[in-house]
Structure 1
Amino acid sequence: MRKPSFTTVMLIVGLLFLYLPMVILVIYSFNSSRLVTVWAGFSGRWYVELFRDRQILAAVWTSLRIAFFSASMAVCLGTLAAFVMTRFSRFRGKTVLSSMVTAPLVMPEVITGLSLLLLFVHMAQMVGWPADRGMVTIWIAHTTFCSAYVAVVVASRLREVDLSIEEAAMDLGAGPVKTFFHITLPVISPALAAGWLLAFTLSLDDW
């Protein structure tokens, strides 16, 4: 019998370290006892109580809506930024633009949140918008930092795209728009999906 390699063992240990607490948490969610540390048998009473709580359900629905719209807008803005960073090799201010796009990746979220809050307050004083902080301002804030993650994911895929395929399509008569939708978009679609899911998860985690 072949012994598992060191890499396989470490992979199993790493997966157990990551997912075993989640499995235990799911199991104890069916605990009939009010005490988390005391097991009293399987029961679905807490899930029944959860779905009866309208406030919690309303909060979950709000979080899902914000995450969906933030991820969708982040994919659009992040993809545009990725195209600029990868397809336009030389232009004035590229380094500054790349730094601004990727800044939310390393900047603490508290700093980003406070900066946007101050921006919204000053905008409300100067132009009268936004009148208050609510869904729209949260959506803008989440889109701001999620776009950076999408830009990095999509840019890494765009750097691997063979440009000769796009050039061949244009040589055969396809315009830039048709080439994008028939050649480039299908090639980068896995990166777009991954970026959307990542942005959705980040937004849901922060709200």
Structure 2
Amino acid sequence: MKTKFFRQISNIYIGMIFIYLYLPIFIVVVYSFNKSMAGTEWMGFTMDWYRKLFKDLNVIIAFKNSLTIAIVSTVISSIIGTIGAVGLYKYNFKGKNLVEGLLDITIVIPEVIMGIALLMYFSQMRFPLGIGTLVLSHTTFSIPFVFIVVKSRLAGFDSSIEDAAMDLGASRFKVFTSIILPLILPGILSGAMIAFVLSFDDVIINFFVSGPESTTLPIKIFSMLRFGLSPEINALCTLMLLITFGILIMVQFIKTMGTKKV
């Protein structure tokens, strides 16, 4: 009897946590279909805000900028992060723990400090602020996430398979492309998708290193909020949520498939 009672309490507790986490998101999505311009009182269902959004040239340009920056930085960070993870896994050298620690520090550093540091660096190097500086900045903070995911995938790798393949005459390149890469590919894809989401949703670093003609979608939302909360902002946030949740679902699916293969 007590077990049943505690189980019910646990279910209620878990349910309250999920309500606390997702109710604000649900409200944003619902009010993106509200006819009311003020967005504070429900006046009926409409799709007008989405139609208006798709006709807004500034929003479309901001979306293209965010998508371009996220894709390019994800590709670069995935390559560098994977090479770093494989290299640090296979080779032992003095300062290895220091290198790994420095990569971890990039994750825990507050974004405000990183944004200021990157702005000062680009200013000293006289780099014009724009798409290029945003790609470099997003690549910088995305590499450690790819590195950690790929490294955790390599932790379960059986090195005897690699040794056996080399004993049979396979070259190091052949071993990497035929054995190591397929085994760590789910980790690479998961890390890449996490890097994409982080880049696509970033606000703080974008605020510091973006130029006047390189406005991203999160910065566009932030600027629209200065004129008050509107259903158009809710619609824009809903679209970003759909993209983010879609990618996170893909990450979980890839992790599940990778675990089954192992």
Which residue, out of 93, 96, 114, partners 1:94? 96
Equivalence map 1:93-172=2 (5 Å): 93-124=95-126, 130=127, 132-172=128-168
C-alpha separation between the residues in 2 aligned to 1:8 and 1:161? Answer: 38
Aligned length: 199
Q: Deviations over 1:41-99 (max 9, x none)?
A: 100010111011000111011011101111111111111221232222x3122122112
Q: Residue 10 of structure 1: CA displacement? A: 4.6
Q: Which residue of 1 aligns with 2:50?
A: 47
Which sections of structure 2, spanning at least 5 residues, go unmatched? 207-262
Percentage of pairs with the same residue: 40
Kept in 2, the 8 Å contact 1:146–1:202? The answer is: yes
Q: Deviations over 1:83-118 (max 9, x none)?
A: 232222x31221221122222111111211221222
Change over 3 Å in CA distance of 1:34–1:201 after alignment to 2: same
**Are 2:84 and 1:62 equivalent residues in the alignment?**
no
Change over 3 Å in CA distance of 1:21–1:118 after alignment to 2: same
For structure 1, which segment, 141-150 or 10-19, has the greater mean C-alpha deviation from structure 2 after superposition?
Answer: 10-19
C-alpha separation between the residues in 1 aligned to 2:149 and 2:90? Answer: 15
C-alpha separation between the residues in 2 aligned to 1:45 and 1:200? Answer: 29
C-alpha separation between the residues in 2 aligned to 1:188 and 1:16? Answer: 36
Give the TM-score taking structure 2 as reference length: 0.71
C-alpha separation between the residues in 1 aligned to 2:168 and 2:81? Answer: 30
Q: Residue 14 of structure 1: CA displacement? A: 3.5
For structure 1, which segment, 17-26 or 196-205, has the greater mean C-alpha deviation from structure 2 after superposition?
Answer: 17-26
- Amino acid corresponding to residue 197 of structure 2 in structure 1: T
Give the TM-score taking structure 1 as reference length: 0.88
Q: Which residue of 2 aligns with 1:185?
A: 181
Q: Which residue of 2 aligns with 1:175?
A: 171
C-alpha separation between the residues in 1 aligned to 2:168 and 2:79? Answer: 28
- Amino acid corresponding to residue 104 of structure 1 in structure 2: T
C-alpha separation between the residues in 2 aligned to 1:87 and 1:10? Answer: 45
C-alpha separation between the residues in 2 aligned to 1:95 and 1:181? Answer: 27
Which sections of structure 1, spanning at least 5 residues, go unmatched? 125-129
For structure 1, which segment, 52-61 or 22-31, has the greater mean C-alpha deviation from structure 2 after superposition?
Answer: 22-31
Q: Taking CA–CA contacts closer than 8 Å with sequence separation of 6 or more, which of the two structures ends up with the larger relative contact order?
A: 2
